Amino acid sequence: MTKNYFSIIIILLCTTNSFTQEIQLKKLYADKNKSDITYAMNHPLHSWKGISNDMLSVILLDTSNMEINELAVVVKIASFDSKNSNRDSNTIEVTEALKYPNVSLSSNSIKEINNTLTVKGTLKFHGVSKEIIFNAQKEYVTNEIKVTGNFEILMTDFKIKPPKLLGITTDKDIKLSFTVFYKL
């Protein structure tokens, strides 16, 4: 009887080892000097963009297959620069950035096919967490991984009232785009 248990354990260990792949996760951090996040908004009278290079981002890279398993991004709302200080101050006021200073995204559900990433994660903005899905592109650039993409959100989904200029409301959507370089 003991011999049977020993044989079963040996078979299970051999079978498990042959079907599992050892995952080697490596943390990679964003290079702030090269990376940026941009938001774009529209008003019937004009359109504008705000850019931030001041983000914190980290990915967990599975070095056995060079796929991104997880990501986290945090950016301060006050770090966005639209080249208009009045507009930037209004953005801080409308988004209540003194109470909710950061926008963050986290994901542990990333699928990759031919360097196209499908990211399912949680976006936290204005104290509201919302599940989002978007696509991004991954490419290798001289000892770095470059990830680019874009997606849209609705201010109203995050309990933000669209601002007005001259009594006319801006569009409800915010277009976000990003280019992030992670050092290998």
pLDDT exceeds cutoff 60 at 5: no
- Residue 6 domain-assigned? no
- Domain membership of residue 73 (yes or no) is yes
Q: In total, how many domains does the chain have?
A: 1
Q: What is this structure's pTM?
A: 0.84
- Assigned domain for 12 exists: no
Is residue 8 pLDDT above 80, yes or no?
A: no
Position 3 in a domain: no
DSSP states along 107-159: EEEEEEETTEEEEEEEEEETTEEEEEEEEEEEEE-SSEEEEEEEEEEEGGGGT
- For residues 175 and 153, what is the distance between their CA atoms, to the nearest angstrom? 7
Beta bridge partners of 106: 72, 122
In the predicted model, is pLDDT for residue 17 greater than 50?
no
Report CA 85 to chain centroid distance, whole Å. 26
Q: What is the pLDDT of residues 86-140, one digit of tens each?
A: 999 999 999 999 999 999 999 999 999 999 999 999 999 999 999 999 999 999 9
pLDDT of 16 > 60? The answer is no
The whole-number pLDDT of residue 21 equals 52
Counting every residue written for the chain, the total comes to 184
Which amino acid is residue 116, in one-letter code? Answer: T
Is residue 18 included in any domain, yes or no?
no
Lowest mean pLDDT among 16-20, 53-57, 158-162, 170-174: 16-20
pLDDT at position 46, please? 87
CATH of the domain at 66: 2.40.128.110
Give residues with Cβ within 8 angstroms of 56, minimum separation 6: 30, 73, 74, 75
Q: How many Cβ atoms are within 10 Å of 97's Cβ, its own excluded? A: 20
163: pLDDT confidence band, cut at 50, 70 and 90? confident
- Domain containing 163 equals 25-183
Other C-beta atoms lying within 10 Å of the C-beta of residue 121: 21
Q: Tell me the mean pLDDT in the region 171-181.
A: 96
Q: Looking at the domain assignment, is residue 20 inside a domain? A: no
Structure tokens at 36: 């940026």
Q: Are 81 and 88 in contact (CB under 8 A)?
A: yes
